């Protein structure tokens, strides 16, 4: 066990020496963060820094990004984008923005690149989902009243007074039932028509995002050249996985 411990300490010492060498010339070669420092999900360096406090870790991240972001943007080689990050968390994913919209995130510690869905697309998809839910509710309502179309007394259930009233005023209840079904069918038609329009709008938005997709494709090609990046296909960005014990968010 002692020999194993010594091997661990020896390996840690070697890594620290490597970090020192990288940091000596960091300002001249900031891309070392993605080519050498954070290439194998090694969190030893941030753990060492965090021993001196979370504020120190955030300050170090700010120092790194001050030099890294301009170099990274130059490496990506794409005009019209801006790189931002949230200075209150670590590790802070880099936000790739185009025309004030976040189009992708890059996590240089966890080696992740993920595209975001355009806001218009998200809004349309959400509305289509809502329409589908509304249609299900209407279908449920129709199923509940369907037996009454064959026997109007069904509306009375087990209530003898209601059954008596229905038997006396069948025409009134049949008229009300017909009107309710007509209204539900009308809602069906309106929702289906809206869904058709939304799908057409979705296709139009996707066609108009050709430039956005072109920019993202170029960015992705460059990031794939970096060591260790796992780029999912067609997944929405949710939230960069935090390194346990390191994420900190400060209230203003």
Least confident of 22-26, 30-34, 85-89, 115-119: 22-26
Q: What is the mean pLDDT of residues 136-143?
A: 90
Average pLDDT value for residue range 189-218: 90
Tell me, yes or no, whether 70 lies in a domain.
yes
Whether 88 and 150 map to the same domain: the answer is no
| pLDDT at residue 248, as a whole number | 36
Residues paired with 105 in a beta bridge: 95, 114
On the question of pLDDT at 193 being above 80, the answer is yes
Tokens 């066990």 belong to 1
Residue 214 in domain: no
The mean pLDDT of the chain is: 81
Residues 104 and 135 occupy one common structural domain: no
Let me know whether 104 and 143 are in one domain: no
- Say what percent of the chain tops pLDDT 70: 81
Alpha carbons 140 and 133: distance in angstroms, whole number? 11
Whether the pLDDT of residue 236 is over 60: the answer is: no
CB count within 10 Å of CB 204 equals: 12
pLDDT at 155 over 60: yes
pLDDT at 42 over 70: no
Within a domain: 134: yes
Shared domain check, 108 and 146: no
Between helix 160-168 and helix 170-208 the angle, nearest 10°, is 100
**251 exposure class (CB count in 10 Å sphere: 0-12, 13-18, 19+):** exposed
What is the predicted pLDDT for the residue at 106? 94
Phi, psi at 87, each rounded to 5°: -75, 0
Residue 6 sits in the same domain as residue 21 = yes
DSSP-derived letter for residue 93 is P
In a domain, 204, yes or no: yes
Q: If residue 96 lies in a helix (H) or strand (E), which one and from where to where? A: strand 94-98
| pLDDT reported for residue 53 | 83
Residue 223 inside a domain? The answer is no
**Average pLDDT value for residue range 126-152:** 88
Higher pLDDT, 153 or 33: 33
> Do 128 and 41 belong together in one domain?
no
pLDDT band at 238 (very low <50, low <70, confident <90, very high): very low
Alpha carbon 2 to its chain's center: 46
What is the reported pLDDT for 147? Answer: 81
Answer whether residue 38 is part of any domain.
Answer: yes
Evaluate if residue 24 carries a pLDDT over 80: yes
Domain match, 158 and 54 both: no
Amino acid 92: pLDDT: 92
Residue-range definition of the domain harbouring residue 95: 2-117
Give the number of other Cβ atoms within 10 Å of residue 173's Cβ. Answer: 19
Same domain, 16 and 95: yes
Residue 124 has pLDDT above 90, yes or no: yes
> Would you state the pLDDT for residue 239?
37
**Band (8; pLDDT cuts 50, 70, 90):** low
| 35 and 109 within one domain | yes
Residue 156 and residue 184 in one domain: yes
Q: How many domains does the chain have?
A: 2
Q: Is residue 27 part of a domain?
A: yes
Provide the CA 208 distance to its chain's centre, in angstroms: 21
Query: Does residue 10 or residue 96 have the better pLDDT?
Result: 96
Q: Is residue 169 part of a domain?
A: yes
Among 117, 146, 177, give the residue marking a domain's end: 117
Residues 10, 86, single domain; the answer is yes
Q: In this prediction, what percent of the chain has a pLDDT beyond 90?
A: 37
Query: Please, are residues 94 and 108 in contact by the beta-carbon 8 Å criterion?
Result: yes
At 52, list the tokens: 């001196």
Q: Are residues 101 and 17 in the same domain?
A: yes
């Amino acid at each position: 066990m002692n020999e194993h411990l010594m091997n661990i300490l020896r390996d840690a010492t070697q890594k620290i020496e490597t970090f020192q060498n990288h940091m000596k010339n960091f300002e001249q070669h900031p891309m070392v963060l993605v080519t050498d420092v954070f290439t194998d999900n090694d969190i030893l360096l941030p753990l060492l820094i965090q021993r001196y406090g979370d504020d120190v870790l955030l300050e170090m991240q700010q120092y790194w990004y001050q030099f890294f972001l301009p170099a990274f943007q130059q490496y990506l080689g794409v005009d019209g984008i801006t790189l931002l990050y949230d200075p209150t968390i670590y590790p802070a994913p880099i936000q790739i923005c185009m025309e004030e919209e976040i189009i992708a995130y890059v996590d240089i510690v966890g080696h992740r690149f993920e595209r975001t869905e355009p806001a218009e697309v998200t809004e349309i998809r959400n509305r289509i989902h809502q329409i589908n839910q509304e249609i299900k509710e209407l279908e449920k309502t129709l199923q509940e009243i369907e037996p009454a179309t064959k026997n109007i007394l069904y509306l009375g259930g087990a209530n003898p007074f209601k059954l008596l009233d229905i038997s006396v005023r069948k025409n009134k209840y049949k008229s009300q039932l017909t009107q309710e079904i007509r209204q539900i069918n009308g809602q069906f038609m309106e929702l289906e028509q809206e869904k058709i329009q939304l799908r057409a709008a979705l296709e139009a938005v996707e066609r108009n995002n050709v430039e956005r997709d072109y920019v993202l494709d170029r960015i992705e090609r460059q990031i794939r050249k970096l060591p260790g990046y796992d780029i999912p296909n067609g997944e929405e960005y949710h939230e960069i996985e935090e390194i346990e014990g390191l994420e900190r968010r400060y209230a203003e």
